[in-house]
Amino acid sequence: MSEVPSPRLRISDQDRESALTALGEHMTVGRIDIDEFGDRSARITAAKTRGELAEIFLDLPEPHPRYDAPAGEPEKPVSPWAGISPTQRVMGALLPILFIATIALIITTGITWWFILVPIGISAVGEGIWGKGWENSHKKLGKQRRRELDG
């Protein structure tokens, strides 16, 4: 095994994960059995320095744990409004208000109930106002949120 850099240097959780991954690969190819994997993984979990980790891998060929391996760049969260145009957002917010205002006008002023067709008509021609695909945007948003929760 190659010389471990700074054997007295304390290890991080990321170093322990790297060691457990390497140990799992050794078990997968049959170099160690499940009992030995359990013993060594317990030692990895209890290890505090690079030297202690290196002792666990003395009798094993590569792979060995990688120290201070750079973590992958964290993913930027996707906006829940991605793919929804500003016009769509504005109309989505105004349409319920328009329905409430229309109902309030009908009740307070005695305007004929046919006046309710105004917000209904606006929502019926929503594709022309909101843009292509407006009828499925809530479904896409729901699927995206489920994917984010599932991980």
**Each residue's pLDDT tens digit, 32-91:** 998 999 999 999 999 999 989 889 999 999 888 887 655 555 666 666 666 677 777 777
Tell me what the mean pLDDT of segment 90-98 comes to: 81
CA distance 107 to 102: 9
CA distance 113 to 105: 10
End-to-end Cα spacing for the chain: 37
- What residue type is assigned to position 94 of the chain? L
CB 60 within 8 A of CB 26: yes
User: Is the entire prediction scored with pTM above 0.95?
Assistant: no
CB 106 within 8 A of CB 89: no
Give the mean pLDDT of the chain.
Answer: 79
pLDDT of residue 132 exceeding 70, the answer is no
CB 8 within 8 A of CB 51: yes
